[in-house]
Structure 1
Amino acid sequence: MFFVSDIMGKAPDSYISYLQEKVYESLAELQIPFERVNTDEAISMEDCIEINHKLNMKMVKTLFLCNSKKTEFYLYITTADKLFKAKNFSNTLGISRVSFAPAELMEQILGVKIGAATVFSVLMDKKNLVQVVFDKDVLLEEWYGCSDGTTTGYMKVKTELIVNNFLTYAKHIPKVIEMQNIN
């Protein structure tokens, strides 16, 4: 059975990574309330089902993408149930075809490993290399569920506070696109 802790409303007593520490420092500085849980390692969207139930929200799917030259980067945030089609994403943004960025670039630019991509990763993007892109459907949800920069810490925050307060603070103004769930 997948372990999910009781809900907590304060930062952890100790941190697993520099990014995780920055996440909670930023939320405190911005006075953004959150609820969080500790879990077994969660990598897939299926692992997030129990977390969704516990926090009474829907986890977003966060993908780190790049062009073939690995010179343009995108943090794409969509709903868990939408299939990702690189061609549709690229056409919608009017950019050249993208693919998943390599794990080593994800660690280098975002400070996370596979499974821990999060909107909070932009705190590590000091050179502003990454364009944040939201699927419009994510913005329709009251709550935003995501990783705290680890694969064992997940949180629930008001979506509007992520988009309007946190991303402004992190100097990453998102683009919003409308993606259809087509097979």
Structure 2
Amino acid sequence: MELYKGRPQNIEGRLDREVRVYDLLDSLGIEYLRTDHGHADTMEACNEIDKVLDVLICKNLFLCNRQKTKFYLLMMPGDKPFKTKELSSQINSARLSFASAEAMEEYLDILPGSVSVMGLMNDKENAVTLLVDEDVLKGEYVGCHPCVNTSSLKIKTTDVFDKFLKAVGHTATVVHLTGE
């Protein structure tokens, strides 16, 4: 795997959802490093990418309440275990579960295995609440997919949370997860 600065030179064969991420980041003046790779839809595969990007790839979980009326995108360190009960109590939402692939595509225009904060650019109605574990904010950089799991980006944390989220009309709710 090689590390590149910015968007691919040739976008032929790239999915529209990926190209739209590069277009938005470029229009906002957000610099990023990128690597292309095989499908990375597990944290084990992401660990190899972490080494190339020299950043911890976030675990991104797309969740919903029991009634499927509230949707959440949770960003947390990839090496931290997720405990539903721990998060439920902080957001006052009992019985959290993983949202369906259909809801993921409807709200974020992302397929399973590609969940990323970048998908919030497609949530024009603000139907998805972004939840961020406080440890993610401690890092200088965030690693994420550009809405596909065959590329990964390294972006300054401040650019994601100050510039990107503001541009796409979202805010982050910070949560404290111990994984215990």
Out of 101, 106, 109, which is 2:107 matched to? 109
Any conservation in 2 of the 1:22–1:123 contact (CA below 8 Å)? no
1:64 Cα deviation (Å)? 0.3
> Under a length normalisation based on structure 1, what TM-score does the superposition of the two structures give?
0.94
Secondary structure, in 3 states, of the residue corresponding to 2:135? Answer: helix
Secondary structure, in 3 states, of the residue corresponding to 1:171? Answer: coil
Secondary structure, in 3 states, of the residue corresponding to 2:104? Answer: helix
Whether 1:38 and 2:39 are equivalent positions in the alignment is no
Any conservation in 1 of the 2:55–2:141 contact (CA below 8 Å)? yes
1:72 aligns with 70
1:84 Cα deviation (Å)? 1.1
Out of 12, 15, 18, which is 1:17 matched to? 15
CA RMSD of aligned residues (A): 1.0
Any conservation in 2 of the 1:19–1:123 contact (CA below 8 Å)? no
The unaligned stretches of length 5 or more in structure 1 are: none
Q: Match for 1:6: what amino acid?
A: E
Q: Report matched runs for 1:1-183 at 5 Å.
A: 5-12=1-8, 13-14=10-11, 16-182=14-180
The unaligned stretches of length 5 or more in structure 2 are: none
Query: Paired residues, what number?
Result: 178
What is the CA deviation profile of residues 32-60 of structure 1, one whole-angstrom value per residue up to 9, with x for unaligned ones? 10000000111100001111111111100
1:86 Cα deviation (Å)? 1.3
What is the CA deviation profile of residues 67-124 of structure 1, one whole-angstrom value per residue up to 9, with x for unaligned ones? 1111100000000111111111110112222100011111111111111000010111
Secondary structure, in 3 states, of the residue corresponding to 2:75? Answer: strand
Secondary structure, in 3 states, of the residue corresponding to 1:91? Answer: helix
What is the CA deviation profile of residues 128-150 of structure 1, one whole-angstrom value per residue up to 9, with x for unaligned ones? 10000100000001110011111
> Under a length normalisation based on structure 2, what TM-score does the superposition of the two structures give?
0.95
- Measure, in 2, the Cα distance between the counterparts of 1:176 and 1:162: 14
Identity %: 34
Q: Match for 2:55: what amino acid?
A: M
Q: Match for 1:38: what amino acid?
A: D
- Which 4+ residue blocks in structure 1 deviate beyond 6 angstroms? none
- Measure, in 1, the Cα distance between the counterparts of 2:86 and 2:57: 22
- Measure, in 2, the Cα distance between the counterparts of 1:105 and 1:175: 21
Secondary structure, in 3 states, of the residue corresponding to 2:178? Answer: coil
